[in-house]
């Protein structure tokens, strides 16, 4: 499938026509200096052609009036999706209006993105257009990572929270790293460091973004080319008072006169700064030190958030090409088990045909990788999935909803400790999934803060002990339980279980269960999804149209079609017995929206 990928900015437009099976670039267009008389275009690396001061619409019409490209669909990069867009979305009039409503959150980016969308939709009016959002991959951030410590009502009113950016890049390189390590991404904790003129780091825990350094805007976090990254807000108040700066001056200071450029006094090109530092320029040296220090600090913090790290990935212009930055950042990470081989680091090189190279020392417990990012290919893959899904499903099919109350799964050994030697679980009543049953047996949960008595055991026995609780239960017990797939209990809190015959303290096993759908292979075929896909489900409750995102699909012949959510979510959404949902594509009659946790990247799949 040939997908046209459009990355439309205010002063430049990048356009790539890709063949999604191999990732091959069939054609490339680069438009520079938009909005000026010096605007020009380069098509397929030919000579630059002057365009003059043209609009996005005029540029598209001029370029594509003489092209005869075969395009199956168009994928558009959109920087900010806010709370409205958590998945790739088919573009229609309503989609465009919703993106426009987010202009205040991304005034430098979303207007240019929309200009590119509208221009491309006029030229390629007979194909599907899809918006792929920088923020979407980070929609899985837990609430604790989303919120600022500010007045809650004000935050709700204006959508003031942490969204994160560079999503397609972080998702792409995490998938590439997992493939290189020959390990399912759902078994890995990966730190992806996207280091370019814009820079961010992401904690990818078992395929999901759980922390990222950029916030409500791309200004938060790491030191960047011209952006400050993290800064004391009091410093801005001081400057506004002492310098008499208005909001425009502060904005320019933070976004265009800070970062590496402000520190070095040389500019934002790291190559120039490295050269100046080698020649003895102290400000250049300080710039490199601050840049590396900030990133190293984030790596340590995010490793703590995930309870460890399996791989650290460097990507984008600086990450892929600066051995010096990789060396400086990797210093003093031995406490994490991360060591680099200096020879491998100096000679590291990545490209499309060789997208991953390892720079870890043989003693390193943590893999350190350099991975070539490919945001255009990531956008093309997401566009392809949505187009195929829309082709597959013609009518909505409902999914029954079930509320999963707190419960416990036990091993046979645990059963005997809690209920007596030789004890067996006995059925109180069957539950919806075949072969499973609510047991006569109950246990008490004893946490660091309080206890919850009379929690039902679910049979049959399992290979691992697992306690599934809600967020309310988490606070009652005094635990910090992560959102996990059932059975994934590594690096989770423990708890004490109390039964009539004894007590048992388990070292790990307490989770808040991730939303998930059980379905048979036949259901999977009907919906056009596969095991481990991640989808959105639309539910109408008391006249409200609700979207549950980040829902895991689980497929087995043993299952009955049903979506499980926990008690807290059911109460908040006013879910009642007998309600059902449909897979969502953002409000269309034909319903499907899928986000795989791993990309299919070219012929390496």
- The angle formed by the CA atoms of residues 431, 434 and 439, to the nearest 5 degrees, is 40
Q: What are phi and psi of 67, to 5 degrees?
A: -105, 150
Helices (H), 47-166: 56-64, 93-101, 110-123, 143-146, 152-158
Nearest Cα neighbor of 329 from 243, 223, 423 is: 223
Q: How far is CA 534 from the centre of its chain?
A: 12
Per-position DSSP letters for 475-493, written without gaps between them: HHHT--PPEE-TT--TT--
Cα–Cα distance, 254 to 77 (Å, whole number): 24
Clarify whether 134 is annotated catalytic.
yes
- Helix, coil or strand: residue 11: coil
Element (H, E) at 387: helix 375-392
Cα–Cα distance, 364 to 493 (Å, whole number): 27
Cα–Cα distance, 350 to 346 (Å, whole number): 12
The strand pairing partners of 193, in sequence order, are: 201, 314
How is residue 529 written in tokens? Answer: 């999804």
Per-position DSSP letters for 329-380, written without gaps between them: HHTT-GGGTB-B-HHHHHH----SSS-EEE-B-TT-SBEEEEE---HHHHHH
Q: What are phi and psi of 103, to 5 degrees?
A: -50, -40
CA distances from 424 to 21, 407, 416, 418, 435 (A): 52, 17, 8, 11, 16
Residue 196 half-sphere exposure toward CB, CA atoms < 13 A: 13
Read off the DSSP letter of residue 504.
Answer: E
Among residues 53, 92, 126, 134, which one is catalytic? 134
Cα–Cα distance, 467 to 511 (Å, whole number): 6
**3-class SS letters over 161-225:** CCCCCCHHHHHHHHHHHHHHCCCCHHHCEEEEEEECCCEEEEEEECCEEEEECCCCCCCCCCCCC
Q: What are phi and psi of 416, to 5 degrees?
A: -75, -35
Read off the DSSP letter of residue 115.
Answer: H
CA distances from 359 to 251, 270, 321, 340, 464 (A): 39, 21, 13, 6, 36
Per-position DSSP letters for 543-559, written without gaps between them: TEEEEEEEEEEEE-TT-
Which residue matches tokens 């991404």? 185
Which residue matches tokens 């493939």? 179
Active site members: 134
């Amino acid at each position: 499938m040939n997908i046209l990928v459009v990355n439309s900015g205010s002063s430049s437009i990048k356009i790539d026509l890709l063949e999604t099976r191999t990732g091959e670039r069939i054609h490339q267009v680069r438009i520079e200096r938009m909005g000026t008389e010096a605007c020009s275009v380069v098509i397929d690396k030919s000579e630059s052609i002057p365009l003059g001061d043209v609009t996005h619409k005029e540029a598209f019409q001029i370029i594509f009036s003489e092209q005869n490209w075969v395009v199956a669909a168009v994928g558009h990069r959109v920087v900010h999706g806010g709370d409205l867009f958590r998945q790739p979305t088919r573009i229609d009039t309503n989609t465009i209006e919703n993106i426009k409503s987010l202009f205040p959150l991304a005034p430098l980016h979303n207007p240019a993105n929309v200009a590119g969308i509208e221009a491309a939709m006029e030229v390629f009016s007979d194909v599907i257009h899809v918006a792929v959002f920088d923020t979407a991959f980070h929609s899985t951030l837990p609430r604790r990572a989303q919120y600022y410590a500010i007045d809650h009502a004000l935050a709700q009113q204006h959508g003031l929270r942490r969204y994160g950016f560079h999503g397609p890049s972080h998702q792409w390189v995490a998938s590439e790293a997992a493939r290189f390590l020959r390990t399912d991404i759902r078994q890995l904790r990966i730190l992806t460091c996207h280091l370019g003129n814009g820079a961010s780091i992401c904690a990818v825990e078992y395929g999901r973004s759980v922390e990222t350094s950029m916030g409500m805007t791309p200004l938060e976090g790491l030191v960047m080319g011209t952006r400050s990254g993290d800064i004391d807000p009091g410093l801005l108040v001081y400057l506004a008072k002492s310098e008499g700066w208005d909001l425009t001056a502060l904005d320019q200071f933070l976004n265009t006169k800070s970062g590496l450029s402000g520190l070095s006094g040389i500019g934002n090109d790291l190559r120039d700064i490295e050269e100046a530092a080698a020649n003895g320029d102290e400000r250049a040296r300080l710039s490199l030190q601050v840049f590396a220090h900030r990133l190293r600090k984030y790596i340590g913090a995010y490793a703590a958030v995930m309870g460890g790290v399996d791989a650290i990935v460097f990507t984008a212009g600086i990450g892929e090409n600066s051995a010096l930055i990789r060396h400086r950042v990797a210093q003093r990470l031995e406490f994490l088990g991360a060591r680099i081989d200096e020879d491998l680091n100096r000679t590291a090189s990545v490209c499309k045909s060789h997208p991953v190279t390892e720079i870890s020392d043989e003693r390193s417990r943590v893999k350190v990788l350099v991975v070539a990012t490919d945001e255009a290919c990531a956008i093309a893959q997401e566009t392809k999935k949505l187009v195929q899904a829309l082709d597959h499903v013609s009518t909505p099919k409902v999914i029954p909803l079930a509320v999963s109350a707190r419960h416990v799964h036990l091993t046979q050994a645990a059963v005997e400790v809690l209920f007596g030697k030789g004890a067996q679980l006995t059925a109180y009543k069957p539950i919806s999934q075949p072969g499973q049953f609510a047991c006569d047996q109950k246990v008490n949960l004893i946490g660091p803060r309080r206890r919850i008595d009379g929690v039902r055991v679910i049979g049959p026995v399992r290979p691992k002990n697992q306690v599934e609780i809600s967020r309310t239960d988490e606070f009652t017990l005094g635990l910090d339980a992560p959102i996990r797939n059932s059975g994934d209990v590594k690096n989770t809190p423990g708890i004490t279980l109390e039964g009539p015959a004894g007590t048992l303290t388990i070292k790990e096993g307490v989770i808040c269960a991730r939303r998930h759908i059980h379905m048979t292979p036949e259901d999977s075929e009907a919906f056009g999804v596969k095991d481990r896909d991640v989808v959105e489900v639309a539910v109408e409750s008391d006249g409200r149209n609700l979207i549950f995102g980040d829902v895991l699909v689980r497929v087995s012949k043993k299952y009955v079609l049903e979506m499980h959510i926990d008690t807290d979510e059911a109460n908040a959404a006013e879910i009642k017995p007998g309600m059902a949902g449909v897979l969502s594509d953002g409000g269309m009659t034909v319903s499907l929206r899928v986000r795989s946790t791993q990309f299919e990247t070219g012929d390496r799949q």
